[in-house]
Amino acid sequence: MKLFRAALATFTFLALLLGVYCAHVAYFRVDVVLFGAILDAVIAASVSTVLLYRMRFFSLLNGFERLQLAAIWILAGYVLAISVPTVIDRSLSFYILEKIQQRGGGIRLDRFEDVFTREYVKEHHLVDVRITEQLASGTVTIRDGCVLLTERGQNLARFSRYFRQHLLPKKRLLMGEYTDVLTDPFRNSATTTGYECQ
């Protein structure tokens, strides 16, 4: 009986989450997809928790069980926020599938670099989207036409670089060959480019 009521409460949370998310993306402004989806999860979990504590139907569940459900809903909302809208919004893998479908079901392998550099960046407004996300996250600032790292951005870049070099796979499959090139993508970068800010 308790399990049924907990499942019903969770179904209510999921329905609320879907409703809040759909209303948010249809009628309200969204600065960053991930942050917006997390906010939707918090709203849905909060409303569901209030219902859980206020509705007599759920009184069979004790306080600890209700608290557990609320925690599970927050975690589930976070996982869904990352796994669905954020992945679809940001994923190059989904873009590849959609682009192949758009081009009739096939694209020549030797032309994929053109697809990425000439179509993906433009069609997805990649630069605008990513700079907007970084501004909203407080990791960069724009001053005199230069995008500059904030202290928070410096710390995240250091962490990311360390993680990439020491904790990503050293033998990763890349086009039929196992390699470590993605643990140091700057290995063969040009030392000067002309686009640095002084």
Out of 90, 105, 120, a domain closes at: 90
Q: Which domain, by its residues, includes 112?
A: 92-137
Q: What angle do CA 39, 42, 43 make, to 5 degrees?
A: 85
Q: Do residues 46 and 23 share a domain?
A: yes
Cα separations (Å) of 167 from 171, 173, 180, 187, 189? Answer: 12, 16, 11, 17, 21
Q: Do residues 81 and 98 share a domain?
A: no
Structure tokens at 124: 């997805």
Q: Do residues 168 and 131 share a domain?
A: no
Read off the DSSP letter of residue 109: G
Q: Do residues 18 and 73 share a domain?
A: yes
Out of 118, 137, 156, a domain closes at: 137
pTM: 0.77
Local confidence pLDDT in tens for the 198 residues of the chain? 888 988 999 999 999 999 999 999 999 999 889 999 999 999 999 999 999 999 888 888 888 999 999 999 999 999 999 999 999 988 889 999 999 999 999 999 999 999 988 999 899 998 999 999 999 999 999 999 999 999 999 999 999 999 999 988 888 898 899 988 888 888 888 777 778 886
Q: Do residues 126 and 171 share a domain?
A: no
Q: Do residues 102 and 27 share a domain?
A: no
Structure tokens at 148: 């500059």
Q: Do residues 77 and 105 share a domain?
A: no
Please give the pLDDT value at position 135: 95
Structure tokens at 141: 């600032």
In a domain, 61, yes or no: yes
Please give the pLDDT value at position 198: 67
In a domain, 159, yes or no: yes
Indicate the number of domains in the chain.
3
Out of 90, 124, 150, a domain closes at: 90
Beta strands in the chain (DSSP E): 140-143, 146-149, 172-174, 177-179
Q: Do residues 12 and 48 share a domain?
A: yes
Strand partners, 146: 143
